[in-house]
A = this chain, B = another copy of it.
Amino acid sequence: MKVTVLGATGYTGMMLLRILASHPEVERVTASSRSYAGRTLEEADPGLSPQALQNGRIAPVVLGPQDALRDPGDVVFSALPHGASAETCAPVLGRTVVIDLSADFRFLRGDLFRSAYGTAPPQAEFQNRAVYGLCEWYRDAVRSADLVANPGCYPTATLLPLLPVLPYIPKEAPIVVNALSGITGAGRKEKLNLLYAERTENAAAYNPGRRHRHAAEISEQLQRETLTFTPHLVPLKQGMLVTTTVPVTDTGKALEALRSRYRDEPFVVLTGETPPETRHTRGTNLVRIGVDVADEMLILMSAIDNLWKGAAGQAVQNMNIRFGVSETAGLQREADL
């Protein structure tokens, strides 16, 4: 496959390059970035390995998005911000497979997009052609999609443990989600509140309640309106930990639904009552899910690497599904110690 990565110098784009550089089915990668257009990839991302820089697979010069999309290859990954993503990809939508890591095509209901992002959903004619790329749940639709809306990191980590047990959660019951995110989740931006000195040895919630845009995305997927979603920033570079507390009507059946649903999923690890640790997902496409029962309450604990299963890894998983290669191709790695 020949692939183009838009936004290649953000954290998600950089991770896409790292994964694609050694993907066995990828023969050409074009890196695109507005700010680094015309400069060498080595300059743009000096952490890439000498193999990646010299094996001829990744073009040695970064292109501007227009130039890159002139010959986009088989698939375009867009790691651009919402709004810019749909706009930049417009020329190739419907012509080349696009895997969009922004929020631009994630919503079914335009009003929800509008209230979360403040504008009408962009590229209206493509909105209903996009498939929500939560691989373990929309795999079949992805197989024939030309536009995949790669889920947000919080929705990925929240939905995967929650969806199988949803039938056992009473309709009006509160769904309480507390999430911890690594700082790369906020992007590679020159902002004061992302500085090392502001975040090391510091923890805080942000956008509590239902204010985070990902809360709307989760709610739509759950088709529930009783979500209380509180995200927190903690001192992690990569990693996401979600703790979901819900009442269930039948704990035994709920646990069994979780187990049977994920029995054969290569990227889902059930840790039982042992709480999952983010380090054991770092650098991998895994979601690790633990679960505890306290009377009729279920505590679901899920860990992912926000840049892997929460972004670049799942995007490549979607590519693998879409192009019919092994779903785990290029994605089997060992986690951090």
Residues of chain A having any CB pair with chain B under 8 Å: 11, 14-15, 18-19, 21-22, 46-52, 174, 176, 178, 180, 182-184, 188, 190-192, 194-206, 208-211, 228, 230, 232, 234-239, 241, 243, 245, 247, 266, 269, 271, 274-280, 282-284, 286, 290, 292-294, 297, 299, 301, 303, 307, 328, 332-337
Question: Closest B-chain residue to A270, C-beta based?
Answer: B50
Chain B residues with Cβ below 8 Å from A192 are 188, 190
Question: Closest B-chain residue to A285, C-beta based?
Answer: B49
Chain B residues with Cβ below 8 Å from A239 are 201-203
Chain B residues with Cβ below 8 Å from A271 are 46
Query: Most chain-B CB neighbours within 10 Å: which of A14, A191, A201, A278?
Result: A201
Chain B residues with Cβ below 8 Å from A230 are 178, 243, 245, 299, 301
Q: Please name the 4 residue pairs, one residue from A and one from B, whose CB atoms are nearest each other, closest first.
A: A209-B294, A18-B334, A205-B275, A204-B277
Q: Among B178, B236, B301, which residue has its beta carbon within 8 angstroms of that of A201?
A: B236
Residues A299 and B11 in contact, CB atoms below 8 Å apart: no
- Chain copies in the assembly? 4
Residues B49 and A335 in contact, CB atoms below 8 Å apart: yes
Known contacts: A18-B334, A51-B332, A192-B188. The answer to whether A201 contacts B297 by CB under 8 A is: no
Residues A237 and B294 in contact, CB atoms below 8 Å apart: no
Chain B residues with Cβ below 8 Å from A183 are 195-197
Known contacts: A174-B174, A201-B239, A279-B201. The answer to whether A49 contacts B196 by CB under 8 A is: no
Residues A203 and B49 in contact, CB atoms below 8 Å apart: no
Residues B49 and A284 in contact, CB atoms below 8 Å apart: yes
In the complex, what distance in Å separates the CA atom of A247 from the CA atom of B49?
A: 31
Residues B204 and A278 in contact, CB atoms below 8 Å apart: yes
Residues A292 and B209 in contact, CB atoms below 8 Å apart: yes
Residues B47 and A335 in contact, CB atoms below 8 Å apart: yes
Chain B residues with Cβ below 8 Å from A236 are 201-203, 234-235
